Amino acid sequence: MHTDQTLIKWYQLSNEQGTQRIALAGNYTLAALEPVMETLADELTQQAANADLHWDLTGIQQLDTAGMMMLWHAWKAQRPKQLQLRTEHEKMFERLEQSPIPQPATQYTDILWPITSLGRLALLLWQHTVGLITLIGQLLIDAVYLIRHPVYIPWREISANLFRTGAQALGITALVGFLIGIVLSYLSSKQLQLFGADIFIINILGISITRELGPMLAAILVAGRSGSSMTAQLGVMRVTQELDALTVMGISHSQRLVLPKIVGLGIAMPLLVMWTSTMALLGGMVAAELQLGLSYQYFITALPDTVPIGNLWLGLGKGVVCGMVIALIACHFGLRIKPNTESLGEGTTTSVVTAITMVIIVDAIFAVIFSDVGLTQQ
């Protein structure tokens, strides 16, 4: 058998009295074997195919895990029949033989995977539902305690959340509301002109914006802006162990962190709804004047007569409920974040998606329950 000249220093083949021997020598370590690892491994594997070959490893001076695993793979994970080892190397191979051999994972198709996946989703939904109910119960207990002890009410935290979720959101809600009002007014006026019903643009804009679009736009924007901020804030506090520090000091998470956020957003949200609806009506009024020639004065004068006041109260009510729901969901997912960055990003994304979904569900519930409110003049 031809032997590469570069491998001569690593092993020697001999035939003594009809017995084939292979004597290994040198340092079988990763640093020494790196230049010839692949070539030497292939050569030793070919030699190991001879079951009668006598292996002599007493000439190996240093042996580490890399060298030992190379020999073990060459022997097909089984010692040769004839093997000589040094005492210290014998112990290494004994430990290797006692180690469990990893078995390849069995590939099989689970025909019930749709049922198991649905079961996991149902279990996850149940866990979140229980967590939300538990958090609501704790908040009610905290509210009763603060009512009995007004000196402990976190006015500063409530004020800070009111500023962050309300005042700082005025710009984006005004811009989106104004543009949506222009688009809705422009498209509606195009259709109304076909029937000569230009005057009804006030009814369409007033009811649709005050009752539905204003609250929904504000809620979705707040869920994406403030909801994600709340979840990320609590998540970072979990990662940096600030929540653990508050627990050690005996400070309630729900009383000092969650309750101010829910109260602050519950107050800010109806104000944002009114602000967004006003800006949307302003945009619709501008588009109506440009498209239909409807004067600003007539629009403002006719709006209270064509839109019952019940629509405004319904929109503000939606704002209060949606604001508290958004804050509750954001805090729930924020407190469930694990102390790692991957969980932080995943929790924030899930929080925003869940909050927006719940906002739409709340809007649908309001639409069904109050279907007769604000649609007819009293």
For residue 153, count CB atoms less than 10 angstroms from its CB and return exposed for 0-12, middle for 13-18, buried for 19 or more: middle
CA-derived radius of gyration, the chain:
37
- Within a 10 A sphere around the Cβ of 173, how many other Cβ atoms? 23
Burial 359-376 (b: 16+ CB within 10 A, else e): beebbeebeeebeeebee
Q: What is the pLDDT of residue 286?
A: 92
For residue 209, what are the CA distances in angstroms to 160, 203, 222, 277, 278?
29, 10, 17, 6, 9
pLDDT surpassing 60 at residue 376 = no
Nearest one of 214, 200, 232 to 330, comparing CA atoms: 232
**Reported confidence tier of residue 2, pLDDT bands at 50, 70, 90:** very low
pLDDT surpassing 70 at residue 53 = yes
pLDDT digits (tens, 9 = 90+) for 331-341: 999 999 888 88
pLDDT surpassing 60 at residue 4 = no
Angle in degrees, 0-180, between the axes of helices 309-336 and 259-292, rounded to the nearest 10: 140
What's phi and psi for 78, nearest 5 deg? -155, 135
pLDDT digits (tens, 9 = 90+) for 18-47: 778 888 888 888 888 888 888 888 888 888
**Dihedral sign of CA atoms 231, 361, 205, 266 in order:** negative
Which tokens sit at 356? Answer: 């927006």
Q: What is the pLDDT of residue 9?
A: 73
pLDDT digits (tens, 9 = 90+) for 231-288: 999 999 988 888 888 888 888 888 889 999 999 999 999 999 999 999 999 999 999 8
Q: Can you give the pTM of this predicted structure? A: 0.69
**Reported confidence tier of residue 123, pLDDT bands at 50, 70, 90:** very high
**Reported confidence tier of residue 378, pLDDT bands at 50, 70, 90:** very low
The domains of the chain, with CATH numbers, are 5-98 (3.30.750.24), 124-369 (no CATH)
What's phi and psi for 79, nearest 5 deg? -65, 145
Q: What is the pLDDT of residue 47?
A: 83
Q: What is the pLDDT of residue 1?
A: 42
Q: What is the pLDDT of residue 103?
A: 53
**Dihedral sign of CA atoms 164, 168, 172, 178 in order:** positive
What mean pLDDT do residues 294-299 have? Answer: 86
